[in-house]
Chain A
Amino acid sequence: MRSIRAAAVGAVTMSLALAASACGGGSSTGGGSDDSPKTLTYWASNQGASIAVDKKVLQPELDKFEKQTGVKVKLEVVPWSDLLNRILTATTSGQGPDVLNIGNTWSASLQATGALLPWNAENFAKIGGKDRFVDSALGSTGASDKDPAAVPLYSMAYALYYNKKMFAEAGISKPPTTWDELVADGRKLSKDGKWGLGAEGSNPSENIHHAFVFARQHGAEFFTADGKADFTNDGVVTAVKQYVDLMAKDKIIAPGNAEYAQNQSVSDFAKGKNAMLLWQSAAANLKSQGLSEDDYGIAPVPVQSGTPGTGDQINSMVAGINLAVFKNTHNTDGATKFVKFMTSDAEQKILNTAYTSIPPVKTAQEDPAFNSPANAVLKDTLAKSAAALPQVADESQFETAVGTAIKELFATAAAGRPVSADTVKSALQKAQQQMPAK
């Protein structure tokens, strides 16, 4: 009898325990609190050449923060391939980090989920005010009619990296300033197994960044003024075709680049397989791959004609990383303090130097450390000829749909099949149909 009772008690207890623990996982919704003021979890994006490099760069700074405030920051560097999914999962479950990095192009999409703490005037006042930040960087922090979903942390811009030695051997005296020149130079450089330009054909985001610039240079937008997808207008079709034609028609990109998605084109450039590369803030990455700064030059991304500027003359997206506070944080106060710390002049100088990016904080940007010739090009581009990707809630879906369409177009080109305006248009049509109905 005793053993039966023991068994019964055990069974009931276990069931209750299981039921209780099952319920325990669900407490998710609701705003932030200050329940755990001594710790923070920080998800950093992978900015350096590897995750180990990032930990080495960030850990000393986090230790400094702990010394100043007594708040311990648990760091996790999340690879780019996982970051957006991790954020979505955290949003759905309500269990996530306190502070996190986001790609600035995701700002509006994540803003729409309501997962991030809005940066209203009151919150901005806690970190020194909105005026501390450069306008172009603020333009990529969410929809224009809403409070920003994040604050700028690192700014980057696209530039044309070129191999000085290969240029000299081909008898090219200066970097190209228009696409026609780039194609002409590229043809001279594409020979003996070497190629003019590198590309990441299977990386949807890279494809989008370039297609966006080409579209703007043709006076076209991917979204109408009221936020509807408009991927098949003539300007966009011409733009996407011009980009894919660099491989399909001009043959200055190696067909093998169509399957690149893990920054192989940067390695190829470092190894001298490609003479040119369109990339954002590549200096740190190139250095880690053994390419000295003297071996390559850096110039603004080409335009159709004339010189870079606003409107049709833009030559880069506003690239960068934003810092956001997760609304479900258990340490709102600490999280805000951490954002203030990371955007302080001193930290901005240290971090942006380590990652060869440009500080989005005005006072930090003026530091002489960011006046090197390479940085001058990036700074100039950001200030004068960069535009933010569409700040619409569907941005993330747009990146995937159109980015994938371009990936398929590259695959077609790589297989040696023709890419006509009609091919491009039908691919974009398919992408547009995947967008949420409006």
Chain B
Amino acid sequence: MTTTAPAAADVRKDSPGAAARDPRRPGRIRRIGLPYLLLLPALFLELLVHLVPMVIGIVMSFKELTQFYIRDWGAAPWSGLRNYRMSVDFDAPVGEALLHSFLVTIAFTVLSVGLCWLIGTTAAVYMQETFRGRGLLRALFLVPYALPVYAAVITWVFMFQHDNGLVNHVLHDQLHLTDKPSFWLIGDNSFYALLTVSVWKGWPFAFLIVMAGLQNIPGELYEAAALDGAGRWQQIRRITLPSLRPVNQVLVLVLFLWTFNDFNTPYVLFGKTAPAAADLISVHIYQASFVTWNFGTGSAMSVLLLLFLLVVTGVYLVLTSRGRRTSDV
């Protein structure tokens, strides 16, 4: 690490202009090559950590990697596009289940990201004003984000239990909102249980990011708006939200990707086989590969998921940045 500082200084000296002045200078190749050489370790690590597993995953998706071959992957027969065809054949059971899981995941993600953003932004806006105990509240709001996922979600599992859970105790025993205790971890209600935990876990992040974004809005804007007679709501609509736009653009994208891919929450909440109503795609793929021991199909589904997320991310970035450019003009 200590060697990078002098090296960087050398590189700067070696700008294209300097090289053009004296093309045949000895040691030129070595000097030009040095930055690339210095990049080599990072490149190797990047390959190792990111690209190699991805490529292996893609290769696996073209193989018939069942229990008979997992000990020796090389021997697994190539299956061409069969895994993909099976995954997207929505009339057959496997494809139908994948489509169902995909739709559940979309609904879940839209609701979760929407609620996380709404609650996080609201809280951040209110926390802008100085009042006694603001620091304490801010810290308190961040607790769900700081807790280890497993510990937090397992606590929710206890609270959602049918017989002894806190949720049923409050909703049924104390408030009498339901005729009989509801099931939250099995059956249709599991979707709402999952959504609740996801929002609880996710909104502090939105709160944190929006709060940071709010610090950058100059106070004079509000003062000027107040002089012009803008009310609280108008200030939020005309100043706060437009100023937060670049922050929100990243925030929503990150929340979307995290929520869509979330594995820990449903896995801890429901175990290896999630109820149909809360069958998120990450757990579904896990089940398709680990529980049925068919890693080829699982990989094909993962690649499809990757493609989908790439497309969504690409379209989102193009749309939002175009919108920003025109508004800047």
Q: By the criterion CB–CB under 8 Å, are A415 and B183 in contact? A: yes
Closest to A399 in B: B291
Whether A4 contacts B183 in the complex (CB less than 8 A), given A18-B41, A91-B70, A204-B273, comes out as no
Q: By the criterion CB–CB under 8 Å, are A434 and B44 in contact? A: no
Whether A92 contacts B163 in the complex (CB less than 8 A), given A397-B293, A436-B294, comes out as no
Interface residues on B, range: 35 or more
Closest to A94 in B: B71
B67, B272, B295 pick with most chain A CB within 10 angstroms = B67
Q: By the criterion CB–CB under 8 Å, are B38 and A11 in contact? A: yes
A186 vs B103: C-alpha distance when bound (angstroms): 42
Is there a chain A Cβ closer than 8 Å to B40's Cβ? yes
Q: By the criterion CB–CB under 8 Å, are B291 and A256 in contact? A: no
- Which A residues, 49 to 95, have Cβ-Cβ distances below 8 Å to chain B? 81, 85, 88, 91-92, 94
Is there a chain A Cβ closer than 8 Å to B37's Cβ? yes
Choose one: A7, A22, A201; the contact of B7 (CB below 8 Å).
A7
Choose one: A112, A202, A430; the contact of B93 (CB below 8 Å).
A430
A91 vs B69: C-alpha distance when bound (angstroms): 10
Q: By the criterion CB–CB under 8 Å, are A397 and B292 in contact? A: yes
- Which A residues, 261 to 302, have Cβ-Cβ distances below 8 Å to chain B? 261
Whether A29 contacts B72 in the complex (CB less than 8 A), given A88-B290, A88-B293, A259-B162, comes out as yes
**Contacting residues, chain B, for A216 (C-beta < 8 A):** none
- Which A residues, 420 to 438, have Cβ-Cβ distances below 8 Å to chain B? 430, 433-434, 436
Q: By the criterion CB–CB under 8 Å, are A88 and B38 in contact? A: no
Is there a chain A Cβ closer than 8 Å to B185's Cβ? yes
Q: By the criterion CB–CB under 8 Å, are B293 and A114 in contact? A: no
0 or 1 for each of B123-146: is its CB under 8 Å from A? (1 = yes): 000000000000000000000000
- Which B residues, 24 to 72, have Cβ-Cβ distances below 8 Å to chain A? 30-31, 34, 37-38, 40-41, 43-45, 48, 52, 66-68, 70-72
Closest to B162 in A: A256
Whether A115 contacts B7 in the complex (CB less than 8 A), given A12-B37, A256-B162, A408-B276, comes out as no
**Contacting residues, chain A, for B37 (C-beta < 8 A):** 7-8, 11-12
Is there a chain B Cβ closer than 8 Å to A15's Cβ? yes
Is there a chain B Cβ closer than 8 Å to A396's Cβ? yes
Q: By the criterion CB–CB under 8 Å, are A202 and B186 in contact? A: yes
Is there a chain A Cβ closer than 8 Å to B305's Cβ? no
Choose one: B71, B73, B92, B163; the contact of A256 (CB below 8 Å).
B163
0 or 1 for each of A20-48: is its CB under 8 Å from B? (1 = yes): 00100000010000000000000000000
Choose one: B38, B68, B185, B290; the contact of A7 (CB below 8 Å).
B38
Q: By the criterion CB–CB under 8 Å, are A12 and B3 in contact? A: no
Q: By the criterion CB–CB under 8 Å, are A92 and B293 in contact? A: no
Whether A10 contacts B3 in the complex (CB less than 8 A), given A4-B10, A113-B71, A436-B66, comes out as yes
Taking the nearest CB of chain B, how far is it from the CB of A242, in angstroms? Answer: 21
**Contacting residues, chain A, for B43 (C-beta < 8 A):** 15
Taking the nearest CB of chain A, how far is it from the CB of B83, in angstroms? Answer: 12
By Cβ-Cβ distance, the 7 closest A-B pairs, closest first, are: A433-B93, A411-B186, A256-B163, A7-B3, A14-B41, A256-B162, A3-B6
